Structure 1
Amino acid sequence: MSEATHHPSTWLQCAVPVADPRWQLVCFPHAGGSASFFRDWGHHLPGVRVHAVRYPGRAERLAEPVPTDLRELARATADAVAALPGVPDLPLVLFGHSMGAAVALETARALEARGITPAHLIASGSRDAAYPPPEPATEIDEDDEVVTRLITLGGTDPELAADPVFQELVLPYIRGDSHMFHSYLPRPEPLLRCPVTTIVGDDDPDADRRPWSELTGGGFREQRVPGDHFYLVPEPPYALVLNSVAAPAEH
């Protein structure tokens, strides 16, 4: 990863400013995703200042190298989150979708190591289960396979995915995210202190699998919602996010 500044404005996008928030939400995009995926969330979460993580190598940071180490990405994100106004005084919730859930996990660990305990971690597109066997890193090396995978998961419009300009700009960081995620070796510790909620579609065969209930001492619950891996495109889980601060997870 480049030596880009860890200033919050580089790493975090707040599309809807909130002058006096009750708490803050940091959203971590999926593999191949960008901060724009969450650009409207601030309009639907009253009293919440919503920040979306700007991963390097895409959108406003297209000129930077694509991340290769998930923990390094998480540590840099944690540096930016820790520098946000209101941290650690305001409650802080982390929301990660799919690969973003793993980045949120490692960011929460990095924050807790410096004495900042999030109020909640929400792992979307992920379920509480044993880790799956490792997949070969070459599984989606070919461009056609990457495009097919995007369309199958439901996160990208087929017409857009077929556009040559889209492919030239987007495929490098989608492929890079895939390699980074596949080379990430999970560790059972350090145990989180914050509670964890998973949100998984009831028709999602591609859900990330992670033993979340064993990764935290702060309580755990799993929420099932209608939909597939990208259930949150037609039905963002705003109510579940709002309840995450008010309702403690089960132990």
Structure 2
Amino acid sequence: MSKIIIIFLFMINQSLALKLNSKANKKYLLELYTSESCSSCPAAEKWLNSFRESDLLWKKVIPLEFHVDYWNHLNWKDPFSKRVFTQRQYNYNKVLKSGVYTPQIISNGNNNRYWRFRKPRFDEEDSSYVLIVDFDEVKGVAKVQINKGEDLTCYGALMKNTEVRNITSGENSGRKLIHEFVVINLRSSKMESDRSLNTCQLQFDKKTLEKSKSFAFWVSDSKTLKVLQAVGADF
């Protein structure tokens, strides 16, 4: 009996090793910068949430919701807000000169001010970048590689889904907010280059992994912050 149990546990551990391959298919990384203290943000969250039921999810569109902390003084503290997410938005502003505001949509490293007015197009384009991720859920280690490029940074995000929040104070007092794709952990690392291949390794803690429902990985140009390729999936 003990041998059967050992074999069964080994099989479980083996099944938790995931491999994602973007192939030569261009993905769109959509980053929403938002806050529970922002009265104009629920409309943007609803827009991002709509991808949960879309055939484009993970195949073409990788949605992320970053909660910033600079609105926490408005009589409500957003529990998902992190200073590192605010700094990421400020980093975009340094490059794009786009301003810092909520809600803000960044698509593949480009500011998108017209998300609410125009139906988004996600063209069926081929990409010269192929991103491969080996993600060991047991150890929380992800090995990321991309086929080409110089001065690159790799990122990994863990997300919660369908978080229902009753807001009792601040600008959204009395509203029920539903968060999808809300980032709870972000890891990054400079990629090491070996001829035409770039690699990096990201480590996640087990407690955060247990709380997560989805994950995403992507590679950006370290200077321009443009996203070269991305992958994502539900656990």
TM-score norm. by structure 1 comes to: 0.22
Higher relative contact order (CA closer than 8 Å, sequence separation 6+): 2
TM-score norm. by structure 2 comes to: 0.23
In proportion to residue count, which structure has more strand?
2
> Which protein shows a greater Rg?
2
